[in-house]
Amino acid sequence: MSSLIIVGADGSTTATAAIQWAADDAARMGLPLRIVTAVQRWPNDIPKFPAPEWEDAVTESAQKVLAAAEETARSGQPAIEVTTALVEGPPALVLREQEKDATEIVVGTRGLGGFAGAVIGSVGIHVAGHVRCPVVVVRPGQTGVHGEITVGLDDSDACEPALAYAFEQARLRGSTLRALYAWQVPVHIYAPEIVYDMDEFRAAHHRVVTDRLAAWRERYPGVKVIEDVRRAHPVEALSDASDTCDLIVVGSHGRGALGSLFLGSVSRGVLHHARCSVAVVRS
């Protein structure tokens, strides 16, 4: 099984940002980078109505996209190994098929085929909802380096893969890791016949975070960790944290039978509302 960083390219500004991000991560991780462009046949290509002659021009244009993308990657990280692939098929499915070779798949927030008002394109949502390896959705326009990564926690073992990814990213970057745990007061707490000790309630949530991080702190003693426990909705808390970090890492253990529903409501919400790049790590 190969170990590659896979990134999608389509000539858009968001894809260019994804290529730069993927090249930097390939350099950090010491892995080769594969840049993939998808080419779709004429949508009405049926025997009675054959594809137009300019289909070759579409392929030629895609090859130019690949060449420009490779130049972008090499100019930023000249030491990494870069290969390119032009694959026929819908972009989301093409990237899904790359999973067997991928340590990580990187996409832009919205490609050339997206709706103008969309925050996250259908390709990013689809890939993040289907593949098992980490998927990074890169938001262009990030300026400066904050030196901090934020990972979302909950009280289940399903967040362990996200913690593993986040700690390793923090180690590779020399960044501080903010472990963010957001909790909300149960609706039934407001029933007059039920009495809660709110201080004990808060203390219990802090213990969840401390216990969850204990083994990871031992495994990564060089990573500075901030335990951040907030009374808020997880999507709101993680989106707020995105203003001062370089990457948000979320786990995803949705239970839907339909593709992107595997994302779960929190990971989907963070993808749409975070102001920085987001890594979705499936459990």
- Within 8 A by CB and 6+ apart from 265, the residues are 235, 254
Phi/psi class of residue 30: alpha, beta or left (left: φ > 0; alpha: ψ in -120 to 50)? left
Q: Can you tell me the mean pLDDT for 253-268?
A: 62
Residue 63 lies in a domain: yes
Q: Can you tell me the mean pLDDT for 160-182?
A: 97
Task: Report the chain's mean pLDDT, rounded to a whole number.
Answer: 85
Residue 155 lies in a domain: yes
185 & 116 share domain: no
State the pLDDT at residue 142.
78
pLDDT in tens, 64-101: 999 999 999 999 999 999 999 999 898 889 999 999 99
Confidence tier at 121 by pLDDT (50, 70, 90): low
Given 105, 138, 171, the domain boundary residue is 138
236 & 271 share domain: yes
223 & 260 share domain: yes
Q: Can you tell me the mean pLDDT for 243-267?
A: 74
Count of structural domains within the chain = 2
Confidence tier at 111 by pLDDT (50, 70, 90): low
The answer to whether residue 173 scores a pLDDT higher than 70 is yes
Residue 216 lies in a domain: yes
Query: Do 4 and 34 meet the contact criterion of CB atoms below 8 Å apart?
Result: yes
Residue 255 lies in a domain: yes
State the pLDDT at residue 32.
98
Q: Positive or negative CA dihedral for 266, 272, 275, 281?
A: positive
State the pLDDT at residue 257.
43
pTM of the model as a whole? 0.86
Confidence tier at 259 by pLDDT (50, 70, 90): very low
Confidence tier at 8 by pLDDT (50, 70, 90): very high
Residue with tokens 């490609």: 111
The residue among 40 and 151 whose pLDDT is bigger is 151
To the nearest whole percent, how much of the chain has pLDDT over 70? 81
Given 138, 162, 179, the domain boundary residue is 138
State the pLDDT at residue 187.
53
Residue 143 lies in a domain: no
The answer to whether residue 198 scores a pLDDT higher than 90 is no
Residue 145, Cβ neighbours under 10 Å: how many? 9
Instruction: Please give the residue range of the domain that contains residue 235.
Output: 148-282
231 & 167 share domain: yes
Given 93, 110, 138, the domain boundary residue is 138
State the pLDDT at residue 59.
84
The answer to whether residue 39 scores a pLDDT higher than 50 is yes
173 & 236 share domain: yes
Strands (E), 202-276: 225-231, 247-252
177 & 100 share domain: no
C-alpha distance from residue 31 to each of 60, 66, 73, 175 (Å): 28, 19, 13, 20
Confidence tier at 43 by pLDDT (50, 70, 90): low
Highest mean pLDDT among 48-62, 165-179, 201-215: 165-179
The residue among 218 and 187 whose pLDDT is bigger is 218
152 & 99 share domain: no
DSSP, collapsed to helix, strand or coil, labels residue 126 as: helix
State the pLDDT at residue 156.
85
Q: What is the CATH number of the domain that holds 55?
A: 3.40.50.620
Confidence tier at 128 by pLDDT (50, 70, 90): confident
Confidence tier at 50 by pLDDT (50, 70, 90): low
